[in-house]
Amino acid sequence: MKKTSFLLLALLVAQGAFAQYQFTMTSDCNCTSIKNQQNTGTCWSFATSSFLESELIRLGKTEYDLSEMYFVRQIFLDKAQNYMYRQGKAQFGQGGLSHDVITAFTEAGAVPESVYSGKLPGEYTHDHTEMENALKGMLDALTKQKKISTRWAASVSGIMDAYMGDVPEKFTYNGKEFTPKTFAATLGINPADYVSFTSYTHHPFDQKMVLEIPDNWANGYYYNVPFADLVSITKNAIEKGYGVAWDGDVSEKGFSGGKGIALLPVSEKREDLFTQPGEEVAVTQELRQSTFTDYSTTDDHLMHITGLAKDQAGTRYFYVKNSWGEISPYQGYIYMSEPYFRLKTVGIMVHKDAVPEAIRKRLGI
């Protein structure tokens, strides 16, 4: 009896061990350490700054830690101008997209994190709640006036100085003096090299489009391609050592930052959802479009895809660097299943050389 019991126990333990997710990396690109956006809506800057840091590693540069909040500050200025010119009939808030970081880089350059953290002396966490309220309150009040002066832009900067600290016009880094523009010029990043893709049928395929999502306040362009191309572009990029900036929906029950897994299960009521592989939804182009149209897919979050993996059942995953600190069993990373990616990806940004040659030729990139 005892021998039988021990054998049964060993079998159950073995089955349980096999049932747990077992991930194997198949491709990986170099990236910097996990960061934490904390109480801010600045995932777009954290994801894209990480993406650019990976680009610098790929280009053979020294590993850099770029200031996410420097880009955030510049984009707040741009958003404020857009909001004022549109007389308050525009999006204004903490959200943004990857192309906003590229715009900030082009307009204002870049600085290291050690030069500008976006935190005041003695502060240890980011929190933009009050700053956003102060900015929005001031702008709303100004747009209700019959006539305004030109001094509002300086007021926007003053509010950000009060909450984030002012940006030095010049700084010393590794023994050399720079301005944000001259520092950016040393990095070898060409903003024109980065292109965005999406996949929705309410616009023609293989053409540029302005994606109608709230955080696309700047009316940034995307190449609209069949969703199979989104998958192949992303896989090709990672396999060639490029990262991918990802924008998508993380509101699904199958997404868990704490568990480090993103799935698209046929049944969300599975008790073993985050402990063992199971059947996932078969995604079609029509399903992508319907979930976008009925608002069940929205652009909630941006992250940085840095690798490819598979589980013991053969399901393919994208290895994704999040910006919520070193949570989850994977120290801040998330394994996102290919079905989840297929349905819940709103858009991606990559270096143009990471796009498969056939797609580049078709699109004229």
Please give the chain's pLDDT, 365 residues, in tens.
Answer: 333 344 444 433 434 444 589 999 999 999 999 999 999 999 999 999 999 999 999 999 989 999 999 999 999 999 999 999 999 999 999 999 999 999 999 999 999 999 999 999 999 999 999 999 999 999 999 999 989 888 999 999 999 999 999 999 999 999 999 999 999 999 999 999 999 999 999 999 999 999 999 999 999 999 999 999 999 999 999 999 999 999 999 999 999 999 999 999 998 888 888 988 999 999 999 999 999 999 999 999 999 999 999 999 999 999 999 999 999 899 999 999 999 999 999 999 999 999 999 999 999 99
Whole-number pLDDT of residue 52: 98
The interaxial angle of helices 68-85 and 98-108, nearest 10 deg, is: 90
Are 332 and 33 in contact by the 8 Å Cβ rule? The answer is no
Q: Which residues of 63-94 are buried (b: 16+ CB within 10 A; e: fewer)?
A: ebebbbbbbbbbbbbbbbeebbeeeeeebbbb
Whole-number pLDDT of residue 8: 41
Sign of the four-CA dihedral 212, 214, 216, 217: positive
Please give the C-alpha separations between residue 246 and each of 135, 230, 300, in angstroms, as whole numbers: 28, 11, 11
Assigned fold of 22-29+36-363: Cathepsin B; Chain A (3.90.70)
What string of H, E and C letters represents the secondary structure of 291-356? HHHCCCCCCCEEEEEEEEEECCCCCEEEEEECCECCCCCCCCEEEEEHHHHHHHEEEEEEEHHHCC
Number of other CB atoms surrounding residue 286 within 10 Å: 9
What lies within 8 Å, CB to CB, of 297 at 6+ separation is 248, 249, 288, 291, 343, 344, 346
d(CA 88, CA 96): 17
Whole-number pLDDT of residue 2: 36
Whole-number pLDDT of residue 268: 81
Helix (H, G, I), strand (E, B) or coil at 252: coil
Residue type, 166: D
Helix (H, G, I), strand (E, B) or coil at 172: strand
Residue type, 354: A
Number of other CB atoms surrounding residue 247 within 10 Å: 29
